[in-house]
Amino acid sequence: MEAMYDETLKNLNEGSIVTGKILSVIDGDVLIDIGYKSEGIVSTQEFTDLEEEPVGQEVEVYLEQLEDKDGMIVLSKRRAVQQRAWDYVVNECEEGSLVEGTIKNIVKGGFIVDVGVDAFLPGSQLDVVPVRNPEEHMGKTYEFRILKINLERKNIVVSRRELIEESRRESRRKILAEIQVGQVRSGGVKNITDFGAFIDLDGIDGLLHVTDMTWGRINHPSEILKVGDEVDVMILEVDLEKERISLGLKQTQDNPWEDIEARFPIGGRVHGKVVNLAPYGAFVELEQGIEGLVHVSEMSWTKRIQRAADVLNVGDEVDAVILSVSTEDKKISLGMRQIDDNPWEVVAGKYPIGSLVQGKVRNFTTYGAFVELEEGVDGMIHVSDMSWTRKVNHPSEVLQKGDEVETIVLEIDATSQRISLGLKQAQNDPWAGIVDRYPVGTKIEGIVTKISSFGAFVEIEEGIDGLVHISQISDEHIERVSDILKVGDTIEARIVKVDPVEHRIGLSVKAAKVDDDKFEVEEGMLEGLQPGGELVNLAGAFDSAFGDQLDEWHPGDSAKKDEEEKSE
């Protein structure tokens, strides 16, 4: 008996796998005889193949200890299974071989996979795309490739990504061999960028550019797609050498622009929603994929709108009229003001040329003043039509904002929405009858109002000035007018020339000293007073220093009017 006992001990080594026989199962514990002096106990939870009548069933167990502190033998069915699995991996598998396993736990940096033994799966090796929800892979069984086996640490590293990539490479070659432009294929949205989305076509990625996603407006691909979506796309272009595929989503749908002219005829009235605003106008969605532009110039008949955002907001619903349609450019021009009657169409009848009208000074420009005749209808008084007697450099010299003024309608251009007004025309022209009031030879007394290098201007009545040329001031030679005359001096002079057309009066101090019966106009008296003579032009004489800076717009000058509107 002692010899038999010794022989048994030789065959039972701690850390080995031994075969035992189930003696009984009591309260969840399995009593196993391995041929030792005592039996071992293993929990039923360690068994996955326990028979219905297990007594007498032979099982392999792992001998952890022959005797514990209580003298009991310590056995483990689970460790026996793990050891057999490890032995199988070591003996039958090698790095690079394939195994099947189940993901059973999530750990830092990856997963624990049951391939018979626990193996580590790095998070980056689970799939070819980033794993956004690790929990959805728990309990799933996949095929893995063994990347590394560490015998000393009993550590195995596996990868699923390599298998997927191999499969995708094979699928890519197959797809590239059969893919053709115009085909429609299904794919999953793999990634989204600012410029488009990458679609996985079962092994090869194609780019769906943002401009090919919809016939309508889109600011970012995420507005219509999200990662994981399944979409049908059309093959637009294939580059076999670079393995690049361009895709289109909108091309799988009917093009809403094909019969656009029939559905949106010019002059037709439409209703839509403002979907985008730009400084120059508003984009209005008329239907899915179809937008029209309302330019700021087409928003109001009477208001000068600088920015679309001043009158509209995104989301506003508006009525408009179709102004033009371009199928080729995929553009529709809309007008909001055309919904209402054009007030300028009745302006000509309401404000006939020559009529006296009243209004309020609304605004100034360098070339004139704008007068509001009624809400939305302005007329313009050019500086040249503000005074009969003076050259006006800026309208503020004559008018103030808010002034109520009476003017005469000089010209109407309903197409360009312009009315020209005259302020001086509503007043008496002091030059009318000037020849009768001041015939040549008449002596006058006047006050010197301005000194220039070529003479002195003398006011002979309110608003009427005459010019004494330097040669007509004294019988003696004069170098400078200011040596003889000063502003404010009262002098006596004789009228030697009257030009009511060009508003000029020539005076002579020298001639005033000649007796009336002996006076006659001599050629020397008219020096500098010839028609068109720039120096003695009253407006030019007073303001020649500013002449180059003035905008010489006059009613009827359309080109100048366009510039004025822009500057306003």
In this structure, the answer to whether residues 442 and 540 fall within a common structural domain is: yes
Residues 265, 271, 274, 280, Cα dihedral to 10°: 40
Please give the Cα distance from 353 to 412 (Å, whole number).
7
Please give the Cα distance from 454 to 528 (Å, whole number).
9
Please give the Cα distance from 555 to 568 (Å, whole number).
17
**Which of 82, 104, 126 corresponds to the end of one domain?**
82
Please give the Cα distance from 532 to 433 (Å, whole number).
21
In this structure, the answer to whether residues 16 and 74 fall within a common structural domain is: yes
- The pLDDT of residue 115 is above 90: no
In this structure, is the dihedral angle defined by the CA atoms of residues 485, 491, 494 and 498, taken in order, positive or negative? positive
Residue 564 in domain:
no
pLDDT value of position 542: 40
Please give the Cα distance from 17 to 77 (Å, whole number).
9
Element (H, E) at 88: helix 77-92
- The pLDDT of residue 541 is above 70: no
420-437 pLDDT tens trace: 999 988 888 777 788 888
In one-letter notation, the amino acid at residue 529 is: L
449-468 pLDDT tens trace: 999 888 999 998 887 888 99
Residue 168 in domain:
no
pLDDT value of position 269: 92
Lowest mean pLDDT of 15-24, 78-87, 278-287, 395-404, name the range. Answer: 78-87
Residue partners of 44: CB distance under 8 A and separation at least 6: 25, 28, 29, 30, 50
- SS3 sequence of 280-349: CEEEEEEECCEEEEEEHHHCCCCCCCCCHHHCCCCCCEEEEEEEEEECCCCEEEEECHHHCCCHHHCHHH
The percentage of the chain sitting over the pLDDT mark of 70, rounded to a whole number, equals 90
In this structure, the answer to whether residues 53 and 102 fall within a common structural domain is: no
Query: Using alpha carbons only, what angle is made at residue 70 by residues 65 and 73, rounded to the nearest 5 degrees?
Result: 30
In this structure, the answer to whether residues 422 and 332 fall within a common structural domain is: no
What CATH number should be reported for the domain holding residue 376? 2.40.50.140
Residue 561 tokens read as 């009017």
Residue partners of 524: CB distance under 8 A and separation at least 6: 471
Q: What is the DSSP string of 183-245?
A: -EEEEEEEEE-SSEEEEE-SSSEEEEEGGGS-SS--S-GGGT--TT-EEEEEEEEEETTTTEE
**Which of 396, 426, 456 corresponds to the end of one domain?**
426
In this structure, the answer to whether residues 524 and 466 fall within a common structural domain is: yes
pLDDT value of position 1: 54
In this structure, the answer to whether residues 373 and 448 fall within a common structural domain is: no
- Mean per-residue pLDDT for 309-323? 92
* Residue 442 contacts residue 434 (beta carbons within 8 Å): no
Residue 431 in domain:
no
In this structure, the answer to whether residues 24 and 111 fall within a common structural domain is: no
**Which of 373, 401, 426 corresponds to the end of one domain?**
426
Residue 555 in domain:
no
Domain range spanning residue 330? 260-338
- The pLDDT of residue 146 is above 70: yes
Residue 267 in domain:
yes
In one-letter notation, the amino acid at residue 184 is: V
As for how many domains the chain has, the answer is 6
Element (H, E) at 434: helix 434-437
* Residue 40 contacts residue 73 (beta carbons within 8 Å): yes
> How are beta strands 244-248 and 205-209 bridged, if at all?
parallel
